A and B are shown apart, each in its own frame.
Chain A
Amino acid sequence: MPELTFREALNQAMAEEMERDPNVFLMGEEVGYYQGAYKVSQGLLEKFGPQRVIDTPIAELGFAGLGVGAAQVGLRPIIEFMTWNFSLLALDQIVNNAAKLRYMSGGQIKMPIVFRGANGSAHQLGAQHSQSLEAWLCHIPGLIVMAPSVPADGKGMLKAAIRDDNPVAFFESEVAYGYKGEVPEGEHIVPIGVGDIKRPGKDVTLIAWSKMIHVALEAANILAGEGIEAEVVDPRTLRPLDEQLLISSVEKTNRCVIVEEGWPYAGVGAEIAYRITLNAFDHLDAPVVRITSEDVPMPYAANLEHAVVPSAQKVAAAAKKVLYV
């Protein structure tokens, strides 16, 4: 199996889907001639031409709206936001139109659109460009929210997102674009709503997604050095949630730490913690604990930024806390 970077895996997914279905097209800032701000769309303009790989002005609300209109009439747009921080301008199109039209038309209008882009902190991008906003979109019924953690999932999940007739918010990571991993060639689909166990274990469940999987895996390594076998579970799709996978793991380990790059208040982890408490209450030997970013705008200073985001050390300490060791 070839080893690809995350960006190459995403690129492969888009290229394969555009080849397979002429209705699929990519639109966003710098996706064409510049080959993508993070080079995710490298080579696509050359391959599919300017009608299907469209550079837009810096006008997120406008091109998100174009995408919603195109999806209504049968095309399958992929709307790239340079980062999700910039998508806030486009939220009206995403929340009020993309997420609603299928429902409000009684199912007559399909909405096969993917909004994708980089999410979360990178390195010293400051308060406005370091946000993890997946919780915002998870709140909206009518949307599917996906957040892959490894290149293979990136490819398989993006292909599933493009083929689905509902709007999908697809969260990538600037830091993770360079991560490498084995990616199956050709038809590789990771179905929507299906999670994955990234590392099996029996002592404590660490739930994470996107970039935080790597923090959780590093924490699992630290814990393994102390004889603690952590199970790292990746829901992959955040809405709808693979609830049964998470619950089964907690039923096995009786303890759960949720790792989330977003803020604590009303985070995705809060919902997951609730569902575990509701469904696996009698299996819990300790309260569910969350490790999130600190509840502050991201500081610019590198040392402060490092202190704000979840770290493997914080996660390992939380795991030991729920293990009472």
Chain B
Amino acid sequence: MASKLTMPKLSDTMTLGVLLKWHKREGDAVEAGEVVAEAESDKATMELEAFDAGTLLKIVVPDGGKVPVGGLLAVIGEKGEDISALLASGSEAAAVPSAPVEAEAPAGPAAEEQIAAAPVPDVTPADVIITTDTVRIKASPLARKMAAAKGVDLRRVQGSGTGGRIISRDLAAMPAGAPAAAIQAAKAPAALSLTEFIPGAAARPDSEQPLNTMRTAIATRMTQSKTTVPHFYLTMEIDMERMIALRTELNAAQEEIKISYNDLIVKAAAAALVKHPRVNGSFAGDKFLFHSQVDIGLAVALEDGLITPVVRNAAAKSVGRIAAEARVLIDKAKARKLTPDEYTGSTFTISNLGMFDIEEFSAIINPPEAAILAVGAIIAKPVVREGAIAIGQRMKVTLSCDHRIVDGATGALFLKEFKAILENPALLLL
């Protein structure tokens, strides 16, 4: 029995994957569990293993091909086997749009609701669109022909025929090449184009670079977040003198693990989040979602992009444990070897640009989280201490909050707690 090798869903936000490289060629024998190819999701590179032993009978997607999740990549079976039926069934999945621009094109009504309602975790507009992709579209042959001629995406057209069938009159009113989202405007608020190119006088490029899947995901999610989540920002200056002393002490007292400022900040944030559950929660349309566990995402810069590996249950872990885990995660992130469960499902994110001497900045919330903490550099500066000018070690942090769940005072109380811990490191022992 021949079996299909399909594009796995490597992350919650993954809608498309790139088949980077085949390790096997057609006709090669493969063992069950053997790595046959490498695929790239929006976040990471993964090795694809064969589930069954046999012969790689047919490679459907060549190196570099983009495929929707679940799309047919190859067929593995016995030599000489008839795989036409498998290939035919696979072509349906392959028929879903293969260009990434499709996946992030304006969302239909269902997806719009999701955006407006701030999706529960795991549901992003991209996911919603892929869901509609896999549902068979009922449209008359004439309607399909008209849609093709007009460049209208049938997935975004409401059918008025029998059983919701899309028929010619549903398309008749549409101008050629009109984005279907605009036509939907009467029924629903205009869909957002999350990665729209806004042309201007200066838009005369000297070269072009197509987006890879990670850049596509960043473009989509950040635009979605910044345009649909009502952000506000709270900035606070924190005295880091005692924390510097603590870190120096810790690193002098042992050589097993080097503690970074970031590790201490993660620990302090986790401790504060436990006491301020809304900042660790999510806005989900008609309800708030709370997480008893604090899972902190660390924004890690990559060569062209970023990824947020997650330190799980940080509130319950010692600084040393956090440091050890963060080190492993950051190394894997830089090698693009994180597995999906290592970079998804955080409840709060910390972005630290202190090493670049950034004094302060504000970050874009990583939905569906309620807040993100932007951490600047520790800077020696004149401060007033007991009525006299002294040299202080100060760090500015800015909390970006989703106002739908975190009010100004809520965020401020969290920051106050966070500051108290950093300024009184002994509290970490409690």
Q: Are B167 and A282 in contact (CB under 8 A)?
A: no
CA distance A24 to B28 in the complex (A): 76
The yes or no answer to B143 lying at the interface (CB within 8 A) is yes
Q: Which residues of B contact A281 (CB under 8 A)?
A: 141
Q: Which residues of B contact A282 (CB under 8 A)?
A: 141-142, 144-145
CA distance A305 to B424 in the complex (A): 98
The yes or no answer to A122 lying at the interface (CB within 8 A) is no
The yes or no answer to B193 lying at the interface (CB within 8 A) is no
Most chain B CB atoms below 10 A, which of A254, A281, A283, A285 = A285
Q: Separation in Å of the B43 CB from the closest CB of chain A?
A: 41
Q: Which residues of A contact B168 (CB under 8 A)?
A: 254, 285
CA distance A286 to B161 in the complex (A): 9
| Partner of A324 from B141, B144, B145, B167 at Cβ < 8 Å | B167
Q: Are A284 and B141 in contact (CB under 8 A)?
A: yes
The yes or no answer to B140 lying at the interface (CB within 8 A) is yes
Q: Which residues of B contact A283 (CB under 8 A)?
A: 141-142, 145
- Closest A residue to B169 using CB positions: A324
Q: Which residues of A contact B160 (CB under 8 A)?
A: 324
- Closest A residue to B144 using CB positions: A282
The yes or no answer to B162 lying at the interface (CB within 8 A) is yes
Q: Separation in Å of the A225 CB from the closest CB of chain B?
A: 21
Q: Which residues of A contact B142 (CB under 8 A)?
A: 254, 282-285
CA distance A283 to B168 in the complex (A): 10
Q: Separation in Å of the B166 CB from the closest CB of chain A?
A: 10
The 0/1 profile, CB within 8 Å of B marked 1, for residues 273-308 of chain A is 000000001111110000000000000000000000
The 0/1 profile, CB within 8 Å of B marked 1, for residues 46-59 of chain A is 00000000000000
CA distance A281 to B144 in the complex (A): 11
Most chain A CB atoms below 10 A, which of B141, B143, B144, B162 = B141
- Closest B residue to A324 using CB positions: B161
CA distance A283 to B144 in the complex (A): 9
CA distance A281 to B169 in the complex (A): 17
Tell me which residues from 144 to 193 in chain B have a Cβ below 8 Å from any Cβ of chain A: 144-145, 160-162, 167-169
Contact (A324, B143) CB under 8 Å given A285-B168, A286-B167: no
- Closest B residue to A286 using CB positions: B140
- Closest A residue to B143 using CB positions: A285
Tell me which residues from 132 to 171 in chain A have a Cβ below 8 Å from any Cβ of chain B: none
CA distance A254 to B167 in the complex (A): 11
Q: Separation in Å of the B260 CB from the closest CB of chain A?
A: 64
Most chain B CB atoms below 10 A, which of A254, A284, A324 = A324
Which size bracket describes the interface of A in this complex?
under 10
Q: Which residues of B contact A285 (CB under 8 A)?
A: 140-143, 161, 167-168
Q: Which residues of A contact B143 (CB under 8 A)?
A: 285
Q: Separation in Å of the B121 CB from the closest CB of chain A?
A: 41
- Closest B residue to A325 using CB positions: B169
CA distance A98 to B162 in the complex (A): 47
- Closest B residue to A277 using CB positions: B141
- Closest A residue to B142 using CB positions: A285
CA distance A281 to B168 in the complex (A): 13
- Closest A residue to B168 using CB positions: A285
The 0/1 profile, CB within 8 Å of B marked 1, for residues 167-197 of chain A is 0000000000000000000000000000000
Q: Separation in Å of the B427 CB from the closest CB of chain A?
A: 70
Q: Which residues of A contact B145 (CB under 8 A)?
A: 282-283
Q: Which residues of B contact A254 (CB under 8 A)?
A: 142, 168
Q: Separation in Å of the A235 CB from the closest CB of chain B?
A: 23
Q: Separation in Å of the A227 CB from the closest CB of chain B?
A: 15
CA distance A155 to B342 in the complex (A): 85
Q: Separation in Å of the A275 CB from the closest CB of chain B?
A: 15
Tell me which residues from 230 to 272 in chain A have a Cβ below 8 Å from any Cβ of chain B: 254
Q: Separation in Å of the A153 CB from the closest CB of chain B?
A: 32
CA distance A266 to B379 in the complex (A): 89
Most chain A CB atoms below 10 A, which of B160, B161, B168 = B168
Q: Separation in Å of the B335 CB from the closest CB of chain A?
A: 51
Q: Separation in Å of the B279 CB from the closest CB of chain A?
A: 53
Tell me which residues from 127 to 151 in chain B have a Cβ below 8 Å from any Cβ of chain A: 140-145
Q: Separation in Å of the A283 CB from the closest CB of chain B?
A: 6
- Closest A residue to B162 using CB positions: A324
Q: Which residues of A contact B169 (CB under 8 A)?
A: 324
Q: Which residues of B contact A286 (CB under 8 A)?
A: 140, 161-162, 167
CA distance A36 to B143 in the complex (A): 54
CA distance A285 to B167 in the complex (A): 6
Q: Separation in Å of the A110 CB from the closest CB of chain B?
A: 44
- Closest A residue to B167 using CB positions: A285
Q: Which residues of B contact A284 (CB under 8 A)?
A: 140-142
Q: Separation in Å of the A249 CB from the closest CB of chain B?
A: 14
Q: Which residues of A contact B167 (CB under 8 A)?
A: 285-286, 324
Q: Separation in Å of the B169 CB from the closest CB of chain A?
A: 7
- Closest B residue to A281 using CB positions: B141
Q: Separation in Å of the B19 CB from the closest CB of chain A?
A: 33
Q: Separation in Å of the B143 CB from the closest CB of chain A?
A: 7
CA distance A254 to B161 in the complex (A): 14
Q: Separation in Å of the A216 CB from the closest CB of chain B?
A: 22
CA distance A284 to B140 in the complex (A): 7
CA distance A286 to B140 in the complex (A): 6
CA distance A283 to B160 in the complex (A): 18
- Closest A residue to B161 using CB positions: A324
CA distance A284 to B161 in the complex (A): 13
- Closest A residue to B148 using CB positions: A282
Q: Separation in Å of the B197 CB from the closest CB of chain A?
A: 33
CA distance A284 to B167 in the complex (A): 9
Q: Which residues of A contact B140 (CB under 8 A)?
A: 284-286
CA distance A324 to B140 in the complex (A): 12
CA distance A281 to B140 in the complex (A): 9
Q: Separation in Å of the A254 CB from the closest CB of chain B?
A: 5
Q: Which residues of A contact B144 (CB under 8 A)?
A: 282
Tell me which residues from 76 to 132 in chain A have a Cβ below 8 Å from any Cβ of chain B: none
Q: Separation in Å of the A322 CB from the closest CB of chain B?
A: 10
The 0/1 profile, CB within 8 Å of A marked 1, for residues 382-425 of chain B is 00000000000000000000000000000000000000000000
Q: Separation in Å of the A323 CB from the closest CB of chain B?
A: 9
CA distance A24 to B161 in the complex (A): 56
- Closest A residue to B166 using CB positions: A285
CA distance A103 to B390 in the complex (A): 116
Q: Separation in Å of the A319 CB from the closest CB of chain B?
A: 15
Q: Which residues of A contact B141 (CB under 8 A)?
A: 281-285
Please name 7 pairs of A and B residues whose Cβ atoms are closer than 8 Å in the assembled complex, sorted by A: A254-B168, A281-B141, A283-B141, A283-B142, A284-B140, A284-B142, A286-B161
Interface residues of A (CB under 8 A from B): 254, 281-286, 324
Given A284-B140, A286-B161, 8 more pairs with CB closer than 8 A: A283-B141, A284-B141, A285-B140, A285-B141, A285-B161, A324-B162, A324-B167, A324-B169
9 shortest A-B CB distances, which residue pairs?
A285-B142, A285-B140, A285-B168, A282-B145, A282-B141, A281-B141, A284-B141, A324-B161, A285-B167
